[in-house]
Every structure is written in structure tokens, then in C-alpha cells.
Amino acid sequence: MVSSVRIRDGLALRRPTLVAGVLVGASLVLAGCGGTYGAPDPVTEQGKSTLTVWRVFLFGAVAVAALIWVLVLWSVIRYRRRPGPTGNPPQRQYNIPMELGYTILPILAVIGLFGLSMWATSNVDRTSPDPDLTVDVEGFQWQWQFRYPDAGVTVTGTEQARPTLVLPVGRTIRFDLHADDVIHSFWVPEFLEKRDLIPGVDNSIDVEVTEPGEWIGRCAEYCGFNHWLMAFDVKAVPADEFDAWLADASGRAQPMVAGSETAAPAPGGGS
């Protein structure tokens, strides 16, 4: 009678461990697979790190939730009340291996997720000492101004014409972010990154766009009545096309002209 109880207890401890192993393994495999699982497809090198964090956290959460449901259901069925004096589960005061397990495993999970977050943050925050291109981004109530200081080109949005931020593919782009009135936030969803523009604070981010394309950026910080107007177009083009556009825009540069259509038409966008 005693040995059969031990065998049952042994099984009782091994099954959840097996289930946990399968779930964690499956989640890691899925996290490494393609698919963005609700996140935008990243179009920058930095965004890939953010996507990795999203995948691992998402599948980690799914695995933990699934494990808990499996354990709850399994306990309910396996240890349901049965008739007779020996039908109830064994009562114990403690179970050292199990208590160590459910203390140490969450701590390891938190350490792992913390390490992953630190890795991604350092990738996203890293700035180059010598970026290929610098763009001064100014948010104001309620539009954006993009300056390419080396070329003397300025693109300013208006209520009628939102500006186009033209970028080269495959180069390190430094965005220096400024605001003089209130806090705004520079956000292109496909970059999987956003950064606040805070009066009196110099914020900078580096981005390397990996593919040509057109996206819409927004202000992600409620900044007043016409906050909703603060959209801008982003157009990423091959580096040589960008150079040609910048030279052309520089040739016709004026100190400040409202609307990207007149100041510096985007490549391929007509003039």
C-alpha cells in the first residue's frame, strides 16, 4: 500500500514538470519563429530587438497561463474527493522540492526577462558617435518640423499639408528631438519605438531603416486640442535616391516653407 502511494506521488511530481517543460520549450520555439503576433513588422534594426522582447514576453505569458490551467484542471480531476476513508489526497505540512521549485523558477524567469529587456533597451538606445545623417525633429502645437542641418533643408508641416520625413535605407540616422511648448512624442509604429520630445531636454535616438517603404508617423503624447493633426509621412528610399533628393531640396532650399509639397517634395512625389 505504501509503495503504491509513493509511485503515485512520483507520478504526481513528474507530470507537471513534464508539462511545464513542453510548454516552455514550445513557447521558446514559437517565439523564435516568424510572425509578429499583433506587432507591426519592424522596418528598422532597432525594431527587431523590440519585436524579440514582444515575442518572448507574449509566449512566456501564454506558457505560464497554460501551465497554471493545466495544473488547476489536473489537480481538480486527479485529487477530486472520492468516497471512503482512503479516497482523499495525502495531507502534508510541507513539500520542500516543490516549494523550492515554485520559488526558484519564477525568480529565474524574472531574471531572464529582465536580462532580455536590458539587452533590447541597450540596442534601441545605443547611439553612434558618427551617424551618417542627422535630422533635427521639432514637435510643436500642432505639427512637425524636420531639419536636415548639413544640407540646409527644412520641411515643416501645416494643418493643410502634413510633412514628409524622407530617410535613406541602410544608413545610421540620428534624430535629435526638441520641443519648446509642451511634451510631444515621436512615433512611427513600424519602428517599434517612440521617444518623447520634452521642453528643456535633449533626446536623441538612432535608427537604421532596413527597407524602402512609406509609413505614417504620429505624435503619441496628448499635447492639446489639435493633437490629432500631428501626423507625418515617412518615406524611406535607397541611399542614392535619398542623396539626389537632398541635393535637389538643398538647391531650392528656403529658410522655412510651410508644407513638404512646396519646400522639399518627397522623391517620386512630383514637385
Q: Interface with Cu ion by CB under 5 A: which residues?
A: 184, 219, 223, 230
Residue 20 CB, shortest distance to Cu ion, in Å, is 46
**In whole angstroms, how close is the CB of 183 to Cu ion at the nearest point?**
8
In angstroms, give the least distance from the CB of 262 to Cu ion: 23
- The residues near 10 (Cβ < 8 Å, ≥ 6 apart) are none
Of 59 and 144, the one with the shorter C-beta distance to Cu ion is 144
Query: Which grid coordinates are listed for 252?
Result: 531650392
Q: With residue 180 as reference, give the H or E element that holds it.
A: none
CB of 139 to Cu ion, least distance (A): 5
Cα–Cα distance, 222 to 184 (Å, whole number): 7
The count of C-alpha atoms lying within 13 angstroms of the C-alpha of 196, restricted to the half-sphere facing its C-beta, is 10
CB 154 within 8 A of CB 257: yes
Of the pair 67, 177, the CB lying nearest Cu ion is at 177
* Nearer to Cu ion among residue 69 and residue 228 (C-beta): 228
- C-alpha to C-alpha distance for 4 and 27, rounded to whole angstroms: 35
Q: How far is CA 55 from the centre of its chain?
A: 10
Q: Minimum distance between the CB of residue 89 and Cu ion, rounded to whole angstroms?
A: 60
Q: Specify the residue, 166 or 223, whose C-beta has the smaller distance to Cu ion.
A: 223
Comparing CB distances to Cu ion, the nearer of 30 and 161 is 161
Residue 55 grid coordinates: 515575442
Instruction: Name the E strands within the chain.
Output: 133-140, 143-148, 153-156, 164-168, 172-179, 184-188, 193-197, 203-208, 213-219, 231-237
CB of 31 vs Cu ion, minimal distance in Å = 34
28 or 229, CB closer to Cu ion?
229
